[in-house]
Structures are given as C-alpha cells and as structure tokens.
Amino acid sequence: MISSTTFDEINTGSAAIPQWDDSARREVLGLEMQIETPENVVLTYQLAGPAQRYIAYMIDLAIRLAIMFGVMMVVPMMGIVLPGTAMGLLLVMMFLNTWGYYTISEGFFKGQSIGKHFCGLRVIRDGGYPITFWPALLRNLVRSADAIVFYGIGITSMLLTRRFQRLGDLVAGTVVIQERSLTLPRKPVILNKIQPLNKNEIGSYLPRDEVLSLIDEFIGRRHVLTYERGHALAGILARNLAERLNYSGDPKKVAQYPMAFLAAVYKTFSFAQEEEEQELVSAYHPRKPSAGVKLE
C-alpha cells in the first residue's frame, strides 16, 4: 500500500526549499541575466562579454576569408565559360559571405556560428527563447552600423547596455550567452520502502522504457521543485498512467499522492523487466551440472 508516510519519505526535502523572493527575481547588473517564466520559474543565463564575442568574431572572420579566397580562385574560371559574369558572381558571393554567413548559421543552427560554437556562445531571444531566421536576419543587417570604426559602435553599445547588446541585438531583441553544462543533483529513490501495484488492480498495459526512465529522472530530481509544484507535475503523469493501466485501486492514491503512485509504477514494471531478463539469461545459459553428477 502507498501511504502518506511513504510519500513523505519519497519527497523528503522538497518542502524545505524556500520560495523565490522578490530580491532573487530582480535582475542585477552583471554577467547574469534572469528571466521569469509564466510558471514562476526563474532561468539564469550567463551573458557573453565583448572579449569572448571578439574571439568568436575573429574565428568566423578567418573562415569567411578562407571562403572568399576559394571563391576568388573559382570565379575567374567561370568567367571564361560565361564571359562578363565574373565580376557579378564575385559581388554576389561577397554579399552572401558577408550577410548570409551569420544569418544562415544563427538562424538555422540554433544561434551558433562556427566561431560561437568553438567559444561556447549562443544567440537567443531576450525572453529566453531560441532565435529564428527573421531575428537572425535583422540583427545581422544592422551589423553594418555596428561595424563602423572597426566595430567601435557595436562595442560602445555593448558597454552601455546591461545585457551587452550591440545595435543589432537591440533591434532584433536578442542577446549572446555563454553555454554552461550543468549536472542536476539527484537523490536516490528508496524502492525497498515502496510497495508495487497490485496486479489485480491494473490491466495489461506495459509502460515503455522511455516512460520508466522519465519517472526515474523526475523522482530523482524531486527535491529541486517545491512541494506544490512537484505534486502538480507528478499528477499529470500519474493520472495519465492510471487511465492507461485501467487502475481500479483507491483513486485517492493517484490524486493525493501522485509521486508515490509513480514510484510504485516504476517499481512494478522495472522489477518485472529485470525478472524477464534473468529468465531469458537462464534459458539460454543453463546451469552446468555439479561435479560428480553423471548425465545419461
């Protein structure tokens, strides 16, 4: 049986997490940008400074110069085949290399050019959303204004704005951030204190491995959520699984203790899979007879 005591043991520590206060939500001047989502979750991004962006720009510039060198080697040959077109083709390629390189790479490769990728930088919308083609096009069309006086205008704009935005970023509503790899903390689920579901109260539905992995990840990181938020998220999956399983047990277990119900589902079907695997291993690898036993 799934009791409230068992649920408290599963969800230990989640209620101790304090709610965000106004001071935590307030964006401060510095390298961090905080965005509050409609779900009252505060996302923190690390902004990229002018020095990092300059290094990424130099890498992209070297790549663009290499592309133009190759174009200048090929275009004269095409001019021999099509006389009078060499200069036109060269101008078109220069235009695409100048404006298309950043627009295509940032618009279709998740806000990263090759230089930004190597430097761990990414362009996103100032609301935390991924950048799309049209904002990428807009921010790079304004690059000509930022590039005045060896990018003096762009650098000045970055130094005067709290999110280090050049003119193109201000017009397109974008920011450049540093990518950070994080490992979310986990707490083990004490499965020996969880009772599996009664087989007489469920149908023949078998949750996929992806669903069991989702339950494992969710319960393992339950302590990073508040008590109320954890219940709300767990309730969505618990109700869906109870319906698919044709669960005929006490409905209060699903409504009041959804996280404990998910843990019971995980134990029921993950242990069943382990038993099946052990049976298959035993079937294909029978035990050898003991020494001194003669087979006839």
pLDDT tens for 163-204 read 999 999 999 999 999 987 766 566 666 667 788 888 888 888
**Helix (H/G/I), strand (E/B), else coil: 288:** coil
User: Both tokens of residue 209?
Assistant: 């491995």
Predicted confidence (pLDDT) per residue in 204-250, tens digit: 888 888 888 888 888 877 777 777 888 888 888 889 999 999 999 88
Domain contains 271: yes
Domain contains 199: yes
In this prediction, residues 82-107 reach a mean pLDDT of 84
Q: Band of the pLDDT at 27, cuts 50, 70, 90?
A: very low
In this prediction, residues 66-73 reach a mean pLDDT of 88
Are 108 and 174 in a shared domain?
yes
Range of the domain at 104: 43-178
Are 89 and 146 in a shared domain?
yes
Q: CA 280, CA 102: separation in Å to the nearest integer?
A: 55
User: Which residues face 25 on adjacent strands?
Assistant: none
Are 164 and 205 in a shared domain?
no
Axis-axis angle for helices 148-160, 50-81 (nearest 10): 150
Predicted confidence (pLDDT) per residue in 251-294, tens digit: 888 988 888 888 888 888 876 555 444 544 455 555 555 444 44
Residue type, 150: F
Are 122 and 229 in a shared domain?
no
Query: Exposure pattern of 122-157 as b/e (b: 16+ CB <10 Å)?
Result: bbbbbeeeebeeebbbbbbebbeebeeeebebbbbb
Q: CA 123, CA 115: separation in Å to the nearest integer?
A: 12
| Amino acid 56: pLDDT | 95
What distance separates the 2 farthest-apart alpha carbons in the chain? 95
Domain contains 202: yes
Are 55 and 165 in a shared domain?
yes
Axis-axis angle for helices 227-244, 258-284 (nearest 10): 50
The DSSP element (H or E) to which 9 belongs, if any, is helix 4-10
Secondary structure percentages of the chain, helix, strand, coil, to 5: 60, 5, 30
Are 205 and 170 in a shared domain?
no
| Amino acid 231: pLDDT | 83
Number of domains in the chain: 2
Residue where a domain terminates, one of 160, 178, 196 = 178
Are 126 and 251 in a shared domain?
no
The more confidently predicted of residues 86 and 4 is 86
Domain contains 75: yes
